[in-house]
Amino acid sequence: MKLDCFNSFIVTLQNWQHEITNYFLRRETSGFVEGLNNKIKVIKRRCYGIYDIGRLFQHIWLDVEGRRLFGYA
């Protein structure tokens, strides 16, 4: 009897084995990058209608660094 239902899982596990083991060995995650990407997506939604790219980057920079600059973090 051949069991095929786990084939795609095994392929995924083999492809990402190094990254998966890094989490368990060194607790390395992409949490910071994922959080930054989410923050930028929220800013893009809030700044809908801003056509000046410099202004958009100002909003991103202030949201990322502003709290530290103004002593809130």
pLDDT digits (tens, 9 = 90+) for 10-29: 999 999 999 888 888 888 78
Alpha-carbon span 42 to 59, nearest angstrom: 11
pLDDT at residue 67 is higher than 80: no
Alpha-carbon span 24 to 18, nearest angstrom: 10
For the chain, domain boundaries: 6-71
What tens digit of pLDDT does each residue of 21-54 get? 888 888 878 888 888 889 888 888 888 888 888 8
Mean pLDDT across 57-65 = 83
